[in-house]
Amino acid sequence: MNGVSSAPLLDRVEDYFVGTFRAMASPCSVLVDTDDPTEAEALLAVAEEEARRIEEKFSRYRRGNLVDQINHSNGRPIDVDEEAALLINYAVTCYAMSDGMFDITSGVLRQVWTFDGSSRVPSRDAVRNCLRHVGWWRVGWKQPTLTLPAGMEIDFGGIGKEYAVDRAAVLIGQRTRSSYVVNFGGDLYMSGPRRGSRTWGVGVDDPDRTGEVALYRLDVSRGGFATSGDASRFVRRRGKRLGHILNPKTGWPVDGAPRSITVFGRTCMEAGTLSTLAYLQGPRARQYLEKQDVQFWIV
Amino acid sequence: MRLQLEPAKPASALRDILHTAALALLLVPGAAKAADTDPTDRIDFTTLLYGEQSRTQIFEPVVRFTHLMSDGQWVSGQLGIDVITGSSPTGALPSGIVQTRTSASGRTITSPAGQIPMAPFKDRRVSLDGQWQRPWGRLVSSTLGGHFSREKDYQSFGVDGKFSTDLMHRLLNITIGGGVSRDSVFPVGGTPAGLSAGTIIHTGSNAKNVSNVLLGASRILSRVWMVSVNGTRTFESGYLTEPYKLITVENRVTGAPVSSLTDKRPSTRDRSSVLLSSVYHLTDDVVYTSYRYYWDTWNVRSHTIDLKYRRVLDADTYVEPLLRYYQQSSASFYTVGLIQGAPLPEYGTSDYRLGKLRTITVGGTFGFRAGDVPGSFTVRGQYMRQAGDGSPPNAIGIQRNFDLSPSISIFSAVVGYTFDY
Amino acid sequence: MIRTARQIGRAMAGLILLLLAGCATVQPWDRDILAEKKMSFNPSPMLQAIDDHIYFSKEASMGGIDAGGGGCGCN
C-alpha cells in the first residue's frame, strides 16, 4: 500500500474523487468533480502542499519557523515577508472591528488554561499575571517590522486554517475548471456546482455528537463554511462548559456564547472570522450575526 | 432538515472590509511555493554494527537508491557489503580436556576444556538488489525484483515478483507473489560426505534451488487501525547441509568425545509461515504488533511475537522501543551427539540453530532530523539474548556437567540516513 | 504434519475471508490518519531488512520477508 511516495490515496465516491490527508491536527479532504484521476491527484497534491507549507510557516509548534522566531525575539524587531505582513494586517483589521476581542496575542493564555474536559481552572492571580502579556496595543507593528515585547506571543490559530482553505482553493482554481471542495477539519470552501447543476451536500454537526448527527443538511454550491464552538475543547466549572476561546480582556473563556456557531460566507476566511467574532460576543452572538446579513446556524 | 440557501444577501460594511483584506492576502503570488518539484529520488545509507559476545562481529554498510517516475513507476537498487569475522560453534561437544582440530581451511584450532568448540571464520559478502514497481491504473501494481549475492563459499541469485490490488473502496489489499533463486555452495576444502569423518567427495559447487510463494491480505478496520495476514511457502531442494558443522560421537558411558562426524541434512525442505500484523494509531503514537507461526518438513516449529511502540515527539522526531520474543522447537534430526557404536541415523545435525532455541530482543529506535541538515536520521540499538537447551535430557556422562548451549548476548546498532531530493 | 498444514491453510483462508467481509467501513474523507507515512506494516524497510537477515542467520525460521530477497550461506 505504500511505496516511495506515501501520497494520500484517492477514492471514488459517486461521480467525484475524494482524497484525504492529515494536516493542522485535522482530517483534510479535497473533493474534485471530475472523471480524471490524474487531475484529481494533482489537485490533491497542490492542496496538501499548501496546507503543509502554511502549517510549517505559521504554526506555533514548529521550531525555528517564522512564528517561533517572532515569539522568541525577546523584544527585538523582526522583519516579516509580504504574506506574513498581510496576514498580520488582516488580524489587525479583525482586532479593530471587534473592539479588541479578536486578538492574536491572546495565545499566551494557554499557559494557564488546559482545555482537557477536566475542572482544572487557573487562579485569578495566575490569569492576571498572564494578562500582562496580552494585548495587541502593546505590539509595535509598522509593516514590515514587528516588535513583540518580551514575554508576549502571537498565535495565528484563529485564522490559520481558514486561510489555508482559501489559499488551497485559489491554487486549485488556477489549475482546473472542475468544481471542487477543500475541507480542512470542518472549515471548507466550495467552488461551484457539480456537473449536472447538482450541489455538494454539507452537514452542520450536532456539537454533542460530532461526526455522528447532522442537525442541518444544506444543498449548497459555492462559498465558505466555518464553525466556532466548544465542542472539542473545553473545561467544566460548576457544571457549566467553558469553551476554549478566551476573552483577551478578562483572560477567561467567553461566557454565554452558543455551543456552536456555523457561518456561511463568500470565502472560508470570511466565514471563519465572522463565526469567531460572533462567538466573542457571547450571549449577543445571534444579534451580531443578524446585523451582518449573513447566513448562520447557532446551536 | 434540508434548507435551500438563497443567493447571498447584500453584505454589511464589516463583511466588505474583511473581504477586501482577505482578497489582498489570498492573491499574493509570492506566497505560493516556488516552482519546486516534489522530490523524486531517495538515497538511503544504512550501516549495521553487530557483535556477539566473544563470537561473531559484523560490519555491514548498505546503500540504496530509489527513483520515482512521473507516472507512478519506481525503480530501486541496493548494494550491500557484509564483513563478518569471529567464531561460531561447530556443533561439537565439550570435553574434560583441551580438544584440537584441523579446520576446513587447514588451520589447527584448540578448544579449551569444558567449553563448546568453536571455529573461526572471516568472510566478506557482497549483495546487489533491484526492484521495479509499476502501477496498472489506480488500484493495481506489480513489482519485479532480482538479487545477487556472493561470498567466499556461497553464491545466490534469483528473481521475484508480486501483484497487489486494492479492493472495496481501497479498504482491502490483496497481494500475491513468488520467487525463485538458485544458490551455490562451494565449501572451502571441498564438500564432505554427510555423517562421515570428513571424507571429501568433490571440490566443485553444490546447487540449492529455492522457490517461494506468498499470499497476503490487509484490511483497514477503522480510521486508526489496520491489520494483515500473510502466508508464505518456501520450497528448498538440493544441497541443504552445513558443510562446516560437526556432530560429536561420544563414549556411550562417560559421554567423552571420541570423534566427530560431519552434518547431514535432507535434500528437501518445505517451509511455511503465517504472519498476523496490526498497526494501531493512538492520539499521536502508533503501536505495531505481529505474530508469526512457522513450521517446516524438518519438524521445526516456531512462534515469534514482535511489539513496537512509536512515541511521536514532534513532526520530525520519534522514539520507538521494541520487544521481540522468539521460540523454536528442534528439527527432527537434531541431536546433541551420537553414541559410539550405535547405528548411524539417516540425517543428523548438532547445529544449535536447528535445536530448541529461544531469543529475546529488546531495543529502541530514535528517529530525528539534525537542525538544518536535510534528510532524516535513524539510530537503533538492540540487545538480544539467545539460549538453547543447555542441559538436554539425553546428555550423558560428563556432558551433564557442561552448559551445552550457553546463552549468548548480542549487541547491535544500526545507523541510517535517508535523503529525498 | 500434512494434517497440521491443512488446518493452518484452512485457518488462514478463514482469516482472509474475515478480512474480506469485515464490518466497519471508513469513509474516504476519514482516511487522513491512514495516509500518514508511519501507518504502514513496514514503516522502516531498511531496518526491517537488516533484522530479517540477522534472525534468518541465527534462527531456523523464515518468512514475513517479502518474497525473494537475497540468500546467504548463513543458515
Chain center to CA of A171? 18
Given B3, B27, B133, which is nearest A216 (Cβ)? B3
pLDDT at B37 over 80: no
If DSSP codes are grouped into helix, strand and coil, which group holds residue C30?
Answer: helix
Given A2, A6, A20, which is nearest C32 (Cβ)? A20
pLDDT at A264 over 70: yes
Chains touching A (3+ CB pairs < 8 Å): B, C
Distance from CA of B416 to the nearest CA of A (A): 16
Report CA Rg, chain C: 18
**Cβ neighbours around A246 below 10 Å, total:** 24
Chain A residue closest to C37 (CA)? A6
Q: What is the pLDDT of residue A115?
A: 67
Distance from C-alpha of B296 to C-alpha of B298, rounded to nearest angstrom? 5
Distance from CA of A172 to the nearest CA of B (A): 12
In DSSP terms, B348 is beta-bridged to B264
Q: Which of B92, B159, B149, B89 is nearest to B123 (CA)?
A: B149
Q: What is the pLDDT of residue B310?
A: 97
Report CB contact under 8 Å: A20, C37: no
Q: Is the CB of residue A186 less than 8 Å away from at least one CB of chain C?
A: no
Distance from C-alpha of B407 to C-alpha of B388, rounded to nearest angstrom? 7
A122: its cell numbers: 487557573
Report CB contact under 8 Å: B5, A220: yes
**Cβ neighbours around B418 below 10 Å, total:** 18
pLDDT at B32 over 80: no
Report CB contact under 8 Å: A11, C36: no
For A104-114, b where at least 16 C-beta lie within 10 A, e where not — what string? bbbbbbbebbe
Distance from C-alpha of B44 to C-alpha of B66, rounded to nearest angstrom? 8
Burial degree of A155 (CB within 10 A; 0-12, 13-18, 19+): buried
A55: its cell numbers: 502549517
Angle of helix B13-26 relative to helix A82-97, nearest 10 degrees, comes to 170
Reported as a single tens digit per residue, the pLDDT across A43-83 is 999 999 999 999 989 988 887 889 989 998 888 999 999 89
Q: Is the CB of residue B32 less than 8 Å away from at least one CB of chain A?
A: yes
Report CB contact under 8 Å: C58, B359: yes
Distance from CA of B288 to the nearest CA of A (A): 16
Average pLDDT over residues B403-418: 88
Report CB contact under 8 Å: B162, C62: no
Reported as a single tens digit per residue, the pLDDT across B342-372 is 888 899 998 889 999 999 999 999 999 987 7
Q: Is the CB of residue B218 less than 8 Å away from at least one CB of chain A?
A: yes
Residue of A44, A87, A166, A270 best to disrupt the B interface, most CBs of B under 10 A: A270
Distance from CA of B139 to the nearest CA of C (A): 15
Of A296 and B92, the structure prediction assigns the larger pLDDT to A296
Cα B54 to Cα A297, B120, B125: the distances in Å are 74, 11, 21
- A67: DSSP letter: H
Q: What is the pLDDT of residue A111?
A: 79
Contact C60, B326 (CB under 8 A): no
Report CB contact under 8 Å: A93, B2: no
pLDDT band of residue A91 (cuts 50, 70, 90) is very high
pLDDT band of residue B87 (cuts 50, 70, 90) is confident
Given C32, C40, C42, which is nearest A21 (Cβ)? C32
Q: Is the CB of residue A86 less than 8 Å away from at least one CB of chain B?
A: yes
Q: Is the CB of residue B285 less than 8 Å away from at least one CB of chain C?
A: no
> What are the φ and ψ backbone dihedral angles of B82, each rounded to 5 degrees?
-115, 115
Residues of B in contact with C17 (CB under 8 A): none
pLDDT band of residue A2 (cuts 50, 70, 90) is very low
Distance from CA of A183 to the nearest CA of C (A): 9
Distance from CA of B145 to the nearest CA of A (A): 14
Report CB contact under 8 Å: B60, C71: no
Distance from C-alpha of A254 to C-alpha of A213, rounded to nearest angstrom? 26
Q: Is the CB of residue A39 less than 8 Å away from at least one CB of chain B?
A: no
> What residues 322-341 of chain B have any CB closer than 8 A to a CB of chain C?
326, 328, 331
pLDDT band of residue C71 (cuts 50, 70, 90) is low
Q: What is the pLDDT of residue B273?
A: 93
Q: Is the CB of residue C36 less than 8 Å away from at least one CB of chain A?
A: yes
pLDDT at C73 over 80: no
pLDDT at B234 over 90: yes
pLDDT at B5 over 50: no
Chain A residue closest to B74 (CA)? A4
Q: Is the CB of residue B205 less than 8 Å away from at least one CB of chain C?
A: no
Q: Which helix (H) or strand (E) holds B387?
A: strand B376-388
Residues of B in contact with A265 (CB under 8 A): 15
pLDDT at A19 over 80: yes
Average pLDDT over residues B391-420: 82
Chain C residue closest to A23 (CA)? C32
If DSSP codes are grouped into helix, strand and coil, which group holds residue B298?
Answer: coil
Residues of A in contact with B24 (CB under 8 A): 86, 89
- Reported as half-sphere exposure (CB side, CA atoms, 13 A), residue A114 has a value of 4
Angle of helix A157-173 relative to helix A82-97, nearest 10 degrees, comes to 120
Chain C residue closest to B273 (CA)? C63
Distance from C-alpha of A201 to C-alpha of A219, rounded to nearest angstrom? 5
- pLDDT above 90: percentage of residues in chain A: 34
User: How many beta-carbon contacts under 8 Å exist across B and C?
Assistant: 201
Reported as a single tens digit per residue, the pLDDT across C3-34 is 566 677 677 777 776 666 666 788 877 888 88
pLDDT band of residue B232 (cuts 50, 70, 90) is very high
Residues of A in contact with B32 (CB under 8 A): 50, 171
Cα B73 to Cα B70, B183, B223: the distances in Å are 7, 30, 28
Distance from CA of B214 to the nearest CA of C (A): 6
pLDDT at B90 over 90: no
pLDDT at A4 over 50: no
Reported as a single tens digit per residue, the pLDDT across B98-149 is 777 766 666 677 777 777 778 787 889 999 999 999 989 888 999 999 999 9
Reported as a single tens digit per residue, the pLDDT across A96-127 is 988 898 999 988 888 788 766 666 778 888 88
- pLDDT above 70: percentage of residues in chain A: 87
In DSSP terms, B311 is beta-bridged to B319
If DSSP codes are grouped into helix, strand and coil, which group holds residue B25?
Answer: helix
- B264: DSSP letter: B
Of B202 and A154, the structure prediction assigns the larger pLDDT to A154
Given C5, C30, C66, which is nearest B223 (Cβ)? C30
Distance from C-alpha of B275 to C-alpha of B231, rounded to nearest angstrom? 6
pLDDT at B35 over 50: no
Reported as a single tens digit per residue, the pLDDT across B296-306 is 999 999 999 99
Report CB contact under 8 Å: C46, B310: no
Distance from CA of A214 to the nearest CA of B (A): 9
Q: What is the pLDDT of residue B11?
A: 58
Residues of B in contact with A97 (CB under 8 A): 14, 17-18
Angle of helix A37-58 relative to helix A157-173, nearest 10 degrees, comes to 150
Chain A residue closest to C43 (CA)? A2
pLDDT band of residue C74 (cuts 50, 70, 90) is low
Residues of C in contact with A2 (CB under 8 A): 37, 40, 42
Report CB contact under 8 Å: A3, B141: yes
Q: Is the CB of residue C37 less than 8 Å away from at least one CB of chain B?
A: no
Distance from CA of C35 to the nearest CA of B (A): 10
User: pTM for the full model?
Assistant: 0.83
Of B16 and B178, the structure prediction assigns the larger pLDDT to B178
Q: Is the CB of residue B159 less than 8 Å away from at least one CB of chain C?
A: yes
Q: Is the CB of residue B182 less than 8 Å away from at least one CB of chain C?
A: no
Distance from C-alpha of A188 to C-alpha of A28, rounded to nearest angstrom? 9
Distance from C-alpha of C24 to C-alpha of C21, rounded to nearest angstrom? 10
pLDDT at B172 over 80: yes
Best-predicted range by mean pLDDT (A17-26, A283-292, B375-384):
B375-384
**Cβ neighbours around B235 below 10 Å, total:** 16
Contact B81, B126 (CB under 8 A): yes
Q: What is the pLDDT of residue B358?
A: 94
Q: What is the ipTM of this complex?
A: 0.86
Chains touching B (3+ CB pairs < 8 Å): A, C
pLDDT at A6 over 60: no
Q: What is the pLDDT of residue C69?
A: 55
Average pLDDT over residues B71-78: 91
pLDDT at B262 over 70: yes
Output helix, strand, coil percentages for chain C, rounded to the nearest 5. Answer: 55, 0, 45
Q: Is the CB of residue B129 less than 8 Å away from at least one CB of chain C?
A: yes
Residues of C in contact with A212 (CB under 8 A): none
pLDDT at B36 over 60: no
Contact A235, A115 (CB under 8 A): yes
Q: Is the CB of residue C7 less than 8 Å away from at least one CB of chain B?
A: no
Contact B201, B190 (CB under 8 A): yes
Reported as a single tens digit per residue, the pLDDT across A191-248 is 988 888 888 877 776 666 665 566 667 777 889 989 887 665 555 556 666 667 888 8
Distance from CA of A24 to the nearest CA of C (A): 11
DSSP B190-242: -EEPTTSS--EEESS-EEEEEEEEEEEEEEEEETTEEEEEEEEEEEEEE----
pLDDT band of residue A152 (cuts 50, 70, 90) is very high
Distance from C-alpha of C50 to C-alpha of C68, rounded to nearest angstrom? 15
